[in-house]
Structures are given as C-alpha cells and as structure tokens.
C-alpha cells in the first residue's frame, strides 16, 4: 500500500511538472500564432487583436494561472484555427489513435512474444539468428519509410497487386475509412457508438461490409506501427525467457515429466512476464504518443495528425492538450504496470502489504 501511495504522489508531482512544461512549450516555439490564422493577410493590428483575444499579451504568470484554472474546470480551451473546443476535437481523434494503438499492441504482443519464445527455446540456432536480425531490422527501420514501402507494395495498385495479377486487390492507401464509400461519419454521436469503428460497425451498425472496410483500412497502418514494438517485445521475451529456462525449477519441472509446452507457458513464461509486461505498458504509451509518423503517412485522423496540424498552425491549446494527454497516459500506464507487478510477482505483493 505504501508503495502504491508513494507511486501516486510521485505521479502527481510529475503531472504538475508536465502541466508547467506543456504551458511553457508554446512560448519556446518560434513564430506568431496569429500568422497561422491571418496568412498572407497578416497585419500587426489584426495580429495584436487576435493575441489579445487569446490572452497571449498577458504576463506569463497570468496566462499560467488561467491555463491551470481552465484545466481544473475540465476546459482544454478552444482551437484558434477552427474556433472549436479542444475536448470535442479530442473526443473525435482519440478513438482513432486508441483503435490503431490497441491493434498494433495486440499484434506486437502476439508476434513479439511468439518470436521471443521460439528464439529463446532454440538459442544460437539459425532461427535465433534470423529472429535477432529481424528484431534489429524492426527496431532500426524508420517508420515513415516502412509506411511508404508498405503502401508501394501492398497498397491498391501496388507492386504485389500487379505481381499477383489481380488475385490480391491491395489494401487502401490510407485513412480510417473512405467517406466516399461508406458514410461512417454518421456513426459519430449515434446511440451506442464508441468511436472505435471496428466495434461500431460490427455491433452497432451490424454491417459486415462496413466492418471489413474498416479492417482493411486498419491493417496496413497497424502492422507498420507494430513493427518496432514487436521487435522490442521479441528481444525482451527472448532475454527474459532465456534466463528463466536455465533455472533449477524448470529442470525440476521437466524432470517431473511435464510437457515442454506446459513448462514454457505455465512455469517459465509467467516468471519471465514482468519485464515483458513492463515493456508492453511503456510501448502502449509510446504508441499513443508516437503514432505521429504512421498517422501522417497513412493520413490516419488520430491524435498524431491532430498534433502535426496544431504544430503547423501554432495552435496552442490543442498542442498543450495532446501533450498533456499523452503524459497523463504514460503516468497512468506506469502506475498500472507497477500495480500489475503485485499480481505477477507474489514477492512484490507481500512486500507491499506488509
């Protein structure tokens, strides 16, 4: 319990630091937000009036107090470009990023752990070497380059489509869905809808065709986004499992005549799970905040695209809100990971309850 409280207090202090950092962030950026709105018709008088309206002419402490006050009221502010409340925008873009990140994390978990287990069971084999090389390549490849490559190969009209002679039709070139094909925007705000299109199309709209359409759009960006986490998870699983497999109790389990599958899954993998779960938690935070490049290449209308747009327009409030949201997610995930240790490792639980 004390461990939990200590972590909670540390998280609160970090949150305060993040609030201050996000506030100072836009003051560190060069340029005048008014120029983004006024464009080539920028005039000093209009820019001054706009800055006055946004409160940017006030002293920094006054601006900070107002910012914190707004946050405490749950008001994330208004975009000075679209004049739209930021929380409404986030409610639109967050499910898109969440859906993409969760799918990428699921892929990374299944394939990363699988690859890690296989390579750990055959250390220094050709398979292990191939796994290691694959993981290294996965970690090293720039995401935007991989994204463009994937589009060239698997996208509609891509190289593999042409090579297959039309047997493989190719995947969509980007976006979450094609508004020219399915009006899935009509699901937004409809009763029962969550904003997660896989769920909404299947369970609310009950349209298998729309579900398939969404899945096709999701596949390529999710695979590309999953590349780095898959490689990381594979390497961590291999290292952790490799160490556990050398322990005496594993030898004992094998001597008792347990099947290799049972030994690995029931005894070894569970004990190797702490670093894997820790990495998955951190990776989920990375996926939420780091999907910017993938979202840009695939024109995925999520938080990454929203942030890029806000940076381009020096749109202060959306930028602050997104940074804050990612930071809070990281803090929450880390807290969750800490707590999950207790379940995975009884020693931690005993230590925390004593």
Residues 240-269 interacting with other proteins (rule: CB under 8 A): none
CB distance 253 to 267 below 8 Å: yes
- 169 in contact with other proteins (CB under 8 A): no
d(CA 150, CA 130): 21
Burial class (CB in 10 A: 0-12, 13-18, 19+), 64: middle
- 191 in contact with other proteins (CB under 8 A): yes
d(CA 348, CA 354): 10
* Residue 312 Cβ vs other proteins, minimum distance, rounded to whole Å: 8
For other proteins, the closer of residues 13 and 180 by Cβ is 180
Q: What is the DSSP-derived secondary structure letter of residue 302?
A: S
Instruction: Choose, by CB under 8 A, the member of 125, 133, 164, 186 that binds other proteins.
Output: 186
Instruction: Choose, by CB under 8 A, the member of 33, 131, 229, 290 that binds other proteins.
Output: 33
- 155 in contact with other proteins (CB under 8 A): yes
* Residue 15 Cβ vs other proteins, minimum distance, rounded to whole Å: 25
- 3 in contact with other proteins (CB under 8 A): no
How far is residue 181 CA from its own chain's centroid? 27
Q: Which residues are 155's β-sheet partners?
A: 171
- 182 in contact with other proteins (CB under 8 A): yes
- 83 in contact with other proteins (CB under 8 A): yes
Instruction: Choose, by CB under 8 A, the member of 107, 115, 228, 314 that binds other proteins.
Output: 314
- 40 in contact with other proteins (CB under 8 A): yes
For other proteins, the closer of residues 33 and 116 by Cβ is 33
Q: What is the DSSP-derived secondary structure letter of residue 57?
A: T
- 193 in contact with other proteins (CB under 8 A): yes
Residue found under tokens 């695209």: 305
Picking from 299, 288, 282, the residue whose alpha carbon sits closest to that of residue 322 is 288
CB distance 109 to 280 below 8 Å: yes
For other proteins, the closer of residues 15 and 47 by Cβ is 47
Q: From 84-92, 216-224, 230-238, 259-267, give the range in contact with other proteins by CB under 8 A.
A: 84-92
d(CA 124, CA 324): 44
For other proteins, the closer of residues 119 and 315 by Cβ is 315
- Tell me if residue 85 falls in helix, strand or coil: strand
Q: Which residues are 78's β-sheet partners?
A: 85
- 200 in contact with other proteins (CB under 8 A): yes
- 81 in contact with other proteins (CB under 8 A): yes
- 164 in contact with other proteins (CB under 8 A): no
Q: From 17-25, 76-84, 120-128, 319-327, give the range in contact with other proteins by CB under 8 A.
A: 76-84
Structure token digits, residue 336: 């969750």
Spell 176-186 as b/e; 16+ CB within 10 A means b. bbeeeebebee
- 282 in contact with other proteins (CB under 8 A): no
Q: Which of residues 335-354 bind other proteins (CB under 8 A)?
A: 343
* Residue 342 Cβ vs other proteins, minimum distance, rounded to whole Å: 10
Structure token digits, residue 164: 């297959």
d(CA 45, CA 151): 46
Half-sphere exposure of 345 (CA within 13 A, CB side): 16
- The Cβ of residue 287 has, within 10 Å, a number of other Cβ atoms equal to 24
* Residue 350 Cβ vs other proteins, minimum distance, rounded to whole Å: 16
d(CA 328, CA 16): 10
For other proteins, the closer of residues 79 and 135 by Cβ is 79
Instruction: Choose, by CB under 8 A, the member of 27, 122, 156, 350 that binds other proteins.
Output: 156
Q: Which of residues 103-122 bind other proteins (CB under 8 A)?
A: none
Q: From 56-64, 77-85, 129-137, 232-240, give the range in contact with other proteins by CB under 8 A.
A: 77-85
Under rule CB under 8 A, how many of the chain's residues touch other proteins? 76
């Amino acid at each position: 319990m004390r461990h939990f409280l200590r972590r909670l207090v540390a998280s609160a202090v970090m949150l305060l630091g993040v609030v201050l950092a996000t506030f100072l962030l836009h003051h560190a950026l060069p340029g005048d937000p008014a120029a983004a709105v006024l464009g080539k018709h920028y005039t000093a008088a209009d820019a001054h009036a706009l800055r006055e309206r946004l409160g940017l002419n006030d002293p920094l402490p006054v601006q900070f107090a107002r910012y914190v006050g707004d946050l405490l009221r749950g008001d994330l502010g208004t975009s000075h470009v679209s004049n739209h409340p930021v929380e409404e925008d986030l409610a639109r873009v967050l499910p898109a990023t969440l859906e993409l990140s969760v799918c990428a994390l699921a892929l990374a978990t299944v394939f990363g752990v699988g690859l890690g287990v296989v390579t750990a069971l055959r250390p220094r084999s050709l398979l292990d070497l191939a796994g290691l090389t694959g993981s290294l390549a996965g970690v090293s490849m720039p995401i935007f380059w991989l994204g463009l490559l994937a589009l060239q190969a698997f996208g509609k009209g891509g190289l593999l489509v042409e090579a297959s002679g039309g047997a493989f039709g190719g995947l969509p070139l980007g976006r979450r869905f094609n508004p020219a094909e399915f009006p899935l925007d009509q699901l937004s705000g409809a009763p029962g809808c969550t904003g997660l299109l896989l769920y909404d199309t299947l369970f609310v709209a009950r349209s298998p065709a729309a579900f398939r359409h969404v899945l096709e759009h999701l596949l390529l960006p999710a695979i590309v986004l999953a590349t780095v986490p898959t490689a990381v998870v594979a390497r961590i699983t291999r290292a952790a499992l490799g160490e556990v497999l050398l322990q005496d109790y594993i030898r004992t389990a094998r001597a008792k005549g347990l099947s290799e599958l049972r030994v690995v899954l029931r005894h070894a993998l569970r004990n190797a799970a702490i670093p894997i779960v820790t990495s998955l938690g951190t990776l989920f935070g990375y996926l939420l905040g780091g999907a910017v490049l993938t979202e840009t290449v695939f024109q995925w209308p999520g938080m990454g695209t929203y942030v890029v747009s806000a940076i381009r327009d020096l749109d202060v409030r959306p930028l602050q809100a997104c940074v804050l949201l990612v930071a809070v997610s990281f803090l929450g995930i880390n807290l969750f990971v800490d707590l999950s240790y207790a379940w995975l490792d009884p020693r931690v639980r005993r230590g925390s309850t004593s």
